[in-house]
Chain A
Amino acid sequence: MSTQTPNRPSTTTSKIPTRAEKRPDEFTVVASDQGLGLNLPQTMGNRLWAPMFVMAVMAFAAALILGFVRSNAIATSADPAMIAQLGHVTTGVMFIGFTAVFSAITFAIARILGVFRSEGGDVQTLASGHVQTLKMPAAAKGMVVSMMMGMMAIVVAVVLHFYVAADVVGSSEAALTAAAQWGSALEGVRRLGVGMHLFGIVLGLATIIHVLRFQSIRILEVAKERSASR
């Protein structure tokens, strides 16, 4: 036994004609005769959450192994320069994992928003033929910007970690001090990157609240439109 999936429009962004429509409340919408499908960030969210997730898992595993290698190097009194290099490389790999996992979370939120937009449009198409779709709220735009800023901050920090690791040559006091100074500066940059990622996630979740509220109101309007048209 299988459920029948009713015919539905494509869930990709298309050139469906839209028109501005004013609502009596605070929601800004565009109207159309069928669902609009996914917008660009939602399409990206659909495609990229899984690769980011896989990249994160791999990076975390690699960083943990590097941590044990570094621990062993310390225990065997290895070259201090190598220990400093391993410290920077371990942190760099770890934060590839963090930016990937935070991006995966953001993309997964975009995917949820895509389901609301695409499927909500399809339900309206089927029930009344008059579709209202929320314009992208400021919070959703903030989510994208914040994620990009967080990712940039962490990627810059990771690149610099690798650069510093490559630059620690010899075990001179000056080289080790410079590596420690870079370590302090980059710790702050990484933390700020994580903060920007988290801020984007909060904005994305707040957008879900906004969309849920709109759809709870809209479905009741759709029922009225349908009964009025009969």
Chain B
Amino acid sequence: MARTLDLAARPAAGANPRTATSHAKVGIVAAIVGLMVVAITTIGNLVIADSSPVLASQLAWPFGLGTTGLGVMKIGVAVVLIGIIVRLWYRVDSVTQALTAIVGDAARQPTSPTTISTDIGPAKVSANPPPPLLIHRMARALWLPMLAMGAMALVIGLIVGLAASGQAADSAAFRGLSAWAQGTLFLGEGLLLSGISFLLGSILAGLREGGGEVQAALGAPVKTLTMPTSAKAFIALMAVGMMAAIGQFIGYAVVATQYAGNAAVFATNAAWLGPLREVALGVLLSGIVLALYTISRVLGFQFTRIRELITTAA
């Protein structure tokens, strides 16, 4: 487990790239477990739909358990992303070895720092690998705390949700507990998605660092893509999504503590807090789309640079 979580577990020099890691299997197993929990809650929802009337207290347990199941699946996503980061280091070592054999000293040339334009976007040229950006350092430091806090919030939300399901549907106690459960569960989901976003940021950091390392090892000018607009938008969406996730939690806390005794005011506020909590996750997911797009662009840039280096040896 410690090895699975250790992002710095870079393979030793000369490590065999055939070495298999367990991240994909662990992630898929977590996703299957989460999906099974979700399927159980779907059956629960269908059974509850047969009752007349449908009470809000009946829906509390499938909501809590189902949201937790989706959280487990997100943890599976995170584990596979960690596996990708580890694999990228194997790739750096393999590409360095291969290009050293193919290119030799042909790529070695003096470098003066400058900015160039490429097919993929503007890039900086330097003699040495560029230092990590602030956001990359943050990503590497914060992915684990975010995931850990997210998992804890989900567990707390699930327990509170189960406690709510034991209360009378039209009681203030139910409304209060239900609001706490919804706010906490979706805060947990938001934290998990932020952890995933930081892991994607760590992948981008690894691509930047590793790409520089390969070029520097060859003595070639180090070309590094400047931060694309999509990466900036990713950071902005992640920040907005996380703020919305915290905002909905605060909103639910206020409603639970101030308005649980007033059914009408409670319902009015719950009507906008529900969409807000879902939009918070939607915004975080939108940021993830842009992070993945950025990764594909950076990979495209790196492959172009690899071909360029091979061409110098032709």
Contacts and interface: CB of A to CB of B under 8 A. Distances in A.
A105 interface: yes
A112 interface: yes
Contact of B38 (A177, A184, A195, A216): A195
A60 B289 CA distance: 15
Interface residues of B, number: 93
A209 B23 contact: yes
B304 A191 contact: no
B217 interface: no
A177 B91 CA distance: 58
B272 A188 contact: no
A37 interface: no
Contact of A123 (B48, B91, B264, B303): B303
A172 interface: no
B267 A202 contact: no
B282 A115 contact: no
Interface residues of A, number: 84
A101 B281 CA distance: 10
B165 to A, nearest CB: 14
Question: Which among B21, B307, B310 has the highest number of chain A CB atoms within 10 Å?
Answer: B307
A99 B32 CA distance: 20
Given A101-B282, A123-B310, A196-B35, A213 B77 contact: no
Question: Which among B39, B123, B289 has the highest number of chain A CB atoms within 10 Å?
Answer: B289
Contacts of A44: none
Interface stretch (B67-75, B147-155, B179-187): B67-75
B289 A71 contact: no
Interface string A69-101: 011011100000000000100100010011001
A5 B304 contact: yes
A187 B304 CA distance: 46
Contacts of B58: 184
Q: Describe A's contact surface by its main secondary structure.
A: helix
B70 A205 contact: no
Interface in A199-230: 199, 201-203, 205-206, 208-210, 212-213, 215-217, 219-220, 222-224, 226-227
A8 B70 contact: no
Interface string B28-57: 100110110011011111101111111000
B292 interface: yes
A162 interface: no
B8 interface: no
B311 A188 contact: no
B275 A111 contact: no
A125 B62 CA distance: 54
B292 A180 contact: no
A198 B42 contact: no
A215 B18 CA distance: 10
Interface string B270-306: 0110111011001101101110110110011001111
A158 interface: no
B229 interface: no
B102 interface: yes
Nearest to B17: A216
Given A177-B52, A188-B44, A220-B97, A3 B87 contact: no
Contacts of A205: 24, 27, 77, 80-81, 84
Given A205-B27, A209-B24, A216-B87, A126 B310 contact: yes
Given A5-B304, A126-B310, A217-B18, A189 B118 contact: no
Contacts of B300: 115, 119
A52 B53 CA distance: 38
15 contacts: A2-B116, A2-B118, A5-B119, A63-B279, A67-B272, A115-B296, A119-B303, A180-B53, A188-B44, A195-B34, A198-B77, A199-B73, A206-B28, A217-B18, A223-B102
Given A67-B275, A219-B94, 15 more contacts: A68-B272, A97-B282, A98-B282, A127-B310, A180-B54, A181-B49, A187-B63, A191-B45, A191-B66, A205-B81, A206-B83, A209-B21, A219-B98, A224-B101, A227-B102
